[in-house]
A and B are shown apart, each in its own frame.
Chain A
Amino acid sequence: MPSPLRLRLQHAVRPFRSASRTARVLVTVGLLITIVFGVAAFLAPTFYRYDGEQYRVEQPDGSFEQLPRLAPPSAEHPLGTTRDRYDVLARIIDGGRLALAVVLFSTLIAMLIGVPLGLLSGYRGGKLDRVLVTVMDAVYVFPPLLLAIIVAFLLQAYFAPGVPSAAAAVGVVYIPQYFRVVRNHTLSVKQEPYVEAARSLGAKERTVISRYVLFNVIQSVPVIFTLNAADAVLTLASLGFLGYGVQPPTPEWGYDISQAIIDITSGVWWTALWPGVAIVTLVTALTLVGEGLNDVINPLLRARGAAGAKLDAAADGEDLGEPANVDPLSPGTEDGSGPGLAGRGFRS
């Protein structure tokens, strides 16, 4: 007799196992890359000699020898060094950890505000709903990067720039997304027979919301989370590039690229190229996870994709539907490459 925990786990991975192979490969590859970024920073001291903020090496006699300035890639510094004598590879490794930390905290902030507000708005309805929807829509149409800059700018007056304030600035941007998805989902779940049944049986409102509505609505959160995570990496880098990220000289990819602009005029390319490659890699990895998860969680969309079409399309004139949904928050269409959340990329 398997333990309840094991049953639960099996239940949780079932959609994953029944998903298409493409979706599983996407998720696996994406996760692997993300994990490499996450783990590398912690293991770096064991396999790499430099630290992201290190610009000199202690000699056996106790003196310090500075690292070279703008050294091209070599065996000693595989990706070269920067104007400030930092090792580029070391900064990329550390920057990955920072990016993941900010992503985690920022989406957490967005979730903690967006999800409860969405639940409340969708469940209660009425005036509260109308006001909240208008406010969130207003925030949503505003240029997200500008919003993040303003929040970071305001927080600068009170806090030293660091992970918490960067996470807050990035997170604010995504609140409307969680709000909208959760609210719309709540609206539809509210009409479900089992919720109405629970209510008619006299269940407390809190029980109904937490047990029946939240449990169902929460399933749409992971997809938004992973797609937002990809976007958040770009937002953080943009903030860093403009000087509203974390405190220098903390390694941060966007800030490093901004420092590298001067270098390119003298033909130095490695300080600008590699942080960007790191961003592209991590964002792509997170996007893969998000789109793969989308396929896994919404198998209906997948069934409309390549595999099913040939067999079913002619069977008794089924409805193949309208063009892709206009609502940018509807999870992607078709083979997960829909406008979806990715449509509202930060494009930083």
Chain B
Amino acid sequence: MSGGGSSGGSLRRYLLTRVALTLPMLLILLTLVFLLLRVAPGDPIRATLGDRLSTEEIEARSEALGFNDPILVQYGRYLGGVLTGDLGNPLTDRRTTLGVIADTFPATLELTLFAMMVAIGVGVLVGAVSGRLRDTPFDVGGRLFGVLIYAAPIFWLGVLAQLVFSLRLGWFPTGSRMTGFDAPRDITGLYVLDSILTLDGSALLASLHHLVLPGTTLGLVIGGIFVRLVRVNMLQTLRSDYVEAAHARGIGERSVLFRHAFKNALVPVVTIIGLQFALLLGGAILTERVFSWPGMGTAILRFLEARDYVGVQGIVTFFALVVVIVSLLIDLVNGLVDPRIRY
């Protein structure tokens, strides 16, 4: 970003520090997952299949799958598996956990990316204008939106959206992703992206048609938080010393607004996006349930229902990895945007 070699060096050092700080957190997260889902329930085979198999069968399968080994050995095997990309084999699914994830993660990613775009778009726009037009009707409306949308459960909004836009108006389907028949050739698994890559116009329309309702519902809810944050930051940067100094130098109003106030107001937003991502994943579970969206949330709910501890553990481990990687990425973006951070 900056031309100076010293800045580049400090950025690298900053990133290395972040990675070094992330590793213990990842280890602790994985350990917690292991303790909660492997140690706490006792024998996962019995817990999952106890009512369907005889005691001998359970014993045999436990032995075969290594659940009778000392817990430390299993812990080591678990960590080793995570390192080599082996997240185990669910007891109630023919696929490996990684296979399940490969099948469902693109759907979740597509949903969350779309939602994040809606959230940032709505949040930044409404928040910034609210902050600039403080105490005007627009501001009052924007704040009201922020408060009410925060208080509304996402699954309820989803149900209402289905009721109004699918059933009454018939604009969008009530749920599910595009059916396999219309689906574009699978490249990334993100149907919208694949449609664009294969220049398949009808698939693009169809995939967007399915994506709009769940994605907007999830995005608006997360966007409510951005509205509040951007608005407050905007108020603060508008009163900051450097904005006043820019006015004193005779910088034009628009330039002060965008180059100074708005840009600085967005810096904390980058950090918050990282935090919201965890909420976004939680919200995605609910959204997927409401809209029958075949993503990771649906997968984990299915494993939970089947009391498939191995499957749950595998997917939760993946969630933990995603969360840690995202927070690392956010740190990276922060370091690029805000020169003060790379000390």
A, B assembled together: yes
Q: Which of A310-348 contact B (CB under 8 A)?
A: 313, 319-326, 328, 332-334, 337-339, 342-348
Q: Which of B201-223 contact A (CB under 8 A)?
A: 221-222
Q: Which of B149-198 contact A (CB under 8 A)?
A: 150-157, 159-160, 162-163, 167, 174
Docked-complex contact B285 and A347, CB < 8 angstroms: no
Docked-complex contact B290 and A261, CB < 8 angstroms: yes
- The segment from B2-10, B55-63, B96-104, B237-245 that touches chain A is B237-245
- Give the distance in Å from the alpha carbon of A137 to the alpha carbon of B32 in the complex: 12
Docked-complex contact B283 and A334, CB < 8 angstroms: no
- The segment from B11-19, B65-73, B316-324 that touches chain A is B316-324
Q: Does B24 contact A (CB under 8 A)?
A: yes
Q: Does A160 contact B (CB under 8 A)?
A: no
Q: Provide the A93-122 mask, 1 if CB < 8 A to any CB of B, else 0.
A: 000000000000000000000000000000
Q: A138-B25, A324-B233 are in contact. Are A234 and B153 (CB under 8 A)?
A: yes
Docked-complex contact A287 and B151, CB < 8 angstroms: yes
- The segment from A7-15, A69-77, A184-192, A262-270 that touches chain B is A262-270
Docked-complex contact B285 and A146, CB < 8 angstroms: yes
- Tell me the smallest distance from the CB of B202 to a CB of chain A, in Å: 27
- The segment from A37-45, A50-58, A204-212, A236-244 that touches chain B is A236-244
Docked-complex contact A321 and B240, CB < 8 angstroms: yes
Q: Which of B151, B235, B272, B327 contacts A283 (CB 8 A)?
A: B151
- Give the distance in Å from the alpha carbon of A242 to the alpha carbon of B225 in the complex: 23
Docked-complex contact B163 and A272, CB < 8 angstroms: yes
Q: Does A145 contact B (CB under 8 A)?
A: yes
Which secondary structure dominates where chain A touches chain B?
A: helix
Q: A144-B278, A324-B229, A339-B228 are in contact. Are A242 and B301 (CB under 8 A)?
A: yes
- Give the distance in Å from the alpha carbon of A275 to the alpha carbon of B153 in the complex: 10
- Tell me the smallest distance from the CB of B313 to a CB of chain A, in Å: 10
Q: Does A254 contact B (CB under 8 A)?
A: yes
Q: Which of A237-292 contact B (CB under 8 A)?
A: 237-238, 241-242, 254, 257-258, 260-261, 264-265, 267, 269, 272-273, 275-276, 279-281, 283-284, 287
Q: Does A224 contact B (CB under 8 A)?
A: no
Interface centre among A241, A281, A333, A348 (most CB of B within 10 A): A348
Docked-complex contact A348 and B235, CB < 8 angstroms: no
Q: Which of A134, A320, A343, A346 contacts B236 (CB 8 A)?
A: A320
Docked-complex contact B147 and A138, CB < 8 angstroms: no
- The segment from B33-41, B85-93, B251-259 that touches chain A is B33-41
Of chain A, the residue at the smallest CB distance from B26 is A138
Q: With a CB–CB cut-off of 8 A, which chain A residues contact B319?
A: 142-143, 146
Q: A144-B278, A342-B228 are in contact. Are A254 and B265 (CB under 8 A)?
A: no
Docked-complex contact B29 and A138, CB < 8 angstroms: yes
Q: Does A5 contact B (CB under 8 A)?
A: no
Q: A137-B25, A321-B236, A324-B236 are in contact. Are A276 and B41 (CB under 8 A)?
A: no
Docked-complex contact B289 and A323, CB < 8 angstroms: no
Q: Does A309 contact B (CB under 8 A)?
A: yes
- Give the distance in Å from the alpha carbon of A237 to the alpha carbon of B153 in the complex: 8
Q: A267-B167, A324-B232, A343-B229 are in contact. Are A254 and B278 (CB under 8 A)?
A: no
Q: Does B281 contact A (CB under 8 A)?
A: yes
Docked-complex contact A265 and B232, CB < 8 angstroms: no
Q: With a CB–CB cut-off of 8 A, which chain B residues contact A279?
A: 151-153, 156
Q: Does A167 contact B (CB under 8 A)?
A: no
Q: With a CB–CB cut-off of 8 A, which chain A residues contact B151?
A: 230, 234, 279-281, 283-284, 287
Q: Which of B309-343 contact A (CB under 8 A)?
A: 312, 316, 319-320, 323-324, 327
Q: With a CB–CB cut-off of 8 A, which chain B residues contact A276?
A: 152-153, 156-157, 159-160
Of chain A, the residue at the smallest CB distance from B274 is A141
Docked-complex contact B286 and A348, CB < 8 angstroms: yes
Of chain B, the residue at the smallest CB distance from A148 is B282
Q: With a CB–CB cut-off of 8 A, which chain A residues contact B47?
A: 157
Q: With a CB–CB cut-off of 8 A, which chain A residues contact B280?
A: 347
Q: A154-B36, A320-B239, A334-B235 are in contact. Are A145 and B282 (CB under 8 A)?
A: yes
Docked-complex contact B153 and A343, CB < 8 angstroms: no
Q: With a CB–CB cut-off of 8 A, which chain A residues contact B264?
A: 323
Q: Does B275 contact A (CB under 8 A)?
A: yes
Q: Provide the A129-159 mask, 1 if CB < 8 A to any CB of B, else 0.
A: 0000011011101111110011101100100
Of chain A, the residue at the smallest CB distance from B235 is A334
Q: Which of B25, B147, B162, B235 contacts A264 (CB 8 A)?
A: B162
Q: Does A197 contact B (CB under 8 A)?
A: no
Interface centre among B24, B151, B228 (most CB of A within 10 A): B151
Q: Which of B24, B268, B281, B316 contacts A150 (CB 8 A)?
A: B316
Q: A264-B159, A280-B148, A287-B150 are in contact. Are A145 and B320 (CB under 8 A)?
A: no
- Tell me the smallest distance from the CB of A309 to a CB of chain B, in Å: 7
Q: With a CB–CB cut-off of 8 A, which chain B residues contact A144?
A: 278-279, 282
Q: A238-B155, A257-B159, A337-B228 are in contact. Are A323 and B267 (CB under 8 A)?
A: yes
- Chain B residues with CB under 8 Å of chain A are 24-25, 28-29, 32, 36-37, 40-41, 47, 135, 143, 146-148, 150-157, 159-160, 162-163, 167, 174, 221-222, 225, 228-229, 231-233, 235-237, 239-241, 264-265, 267-268, 271-272, 275-276, 278-283, 285-286, 289-290, 300-301, 304, 312, 316, 319-320, 323-324, 327
* 23 interchain pairs, CB-CB under 8 A: A134-B24, A134-B28, A142-B29, A142-B278, A142-B320, A154-B40, A242-B289, A242-B301, A264-B159, A267-B167, A276-B153, A279-B153, A281-B151, A284-B147, A284-B151, A321-B236, A323-B236, A326-B272, A334-B235, A334-B236, A339-B268, A347-B225, A347-B283
Q: State the 5 A-B residue pairs at the shortest beta-carbon distance, nearest first.
A: A145-B282, A276-B156, A283-B151, A143-B282, A138-B28
